[in-house]
Amino acid sequence: MKTKSILIGTFIDKHKILSFLEILKNKFKQDLNKIHIYTIETNNYEYLVTFKVYDKELYLKNINNSTVMHVKNGCLFSINALNKLIENECGHFDKDYVLDWDKYHNTLVILTNGNLVVEKLVKIEDKCSIIF
């Protein structure tokens, strides 16, 4: 049976991004071509870095500011944040509620200190551009 990969999202200080990519490449054997880096609209200090893993515990225990993420229609989200978003949109949590995913294209939906955060994301297509 093939193990399903899990998407991990890690928030990294912008000035530490190169050393973090080196750690992912050398220590965790991640393919740099399969790592995605995003800028967050109102966060000038951090990048969001996503990558797929098969052993989430290894990463979550060893890399600070990491969480399991999910993707739908270009929206990156945590399950808890999705539940909170549904609760906010329809007034209560309803597992059958259907979100208009088009409203959340290229968006991060996450809980920070229990508060729902919805931010626009821009994927950095050229990783070399973060050096300059």
Q: Show pLDDT as tens, one digit a residue, over the chain (132 residues).
A: 567 899 999 999 999 999 999 999 998 999 988 999 999 999 999 999 999 999 888 888 888 899 999 999 999 999 999 999 999 988 888 888 889 999 999 999 999 988 999 999 999 987 766 665
**Letter string b/e over residues 65-84, b meaning 16 or more CB atoms within 10 A of that residue's CB:** ebbebeeeeebbbbeebbbb
- pLDDT score recorded for residue 57: 86
- pLDDT score recorded for residue 93: 84
- pLDDT score recorded for residue 55: 86
Q: What is the pTM of this model?
A: 0.89
- pLDDT score recorded for residue 26: 92
Alpha carbon distance 39, 123 (integer Å): 6
- pLDDT score recorded for residue 3: 77
Q: In terms of DSSP bridges, do strands 115-123 and 43-53 run parallel, antiparallel, or are they unpaired?
A: unpaired
Radius of gyration for the chain, computed over Cα atoms and rounded to the nearest angstrom: 15
- Of residues 49, 47, 48, 51, the one with CA closest to residue 34: 51
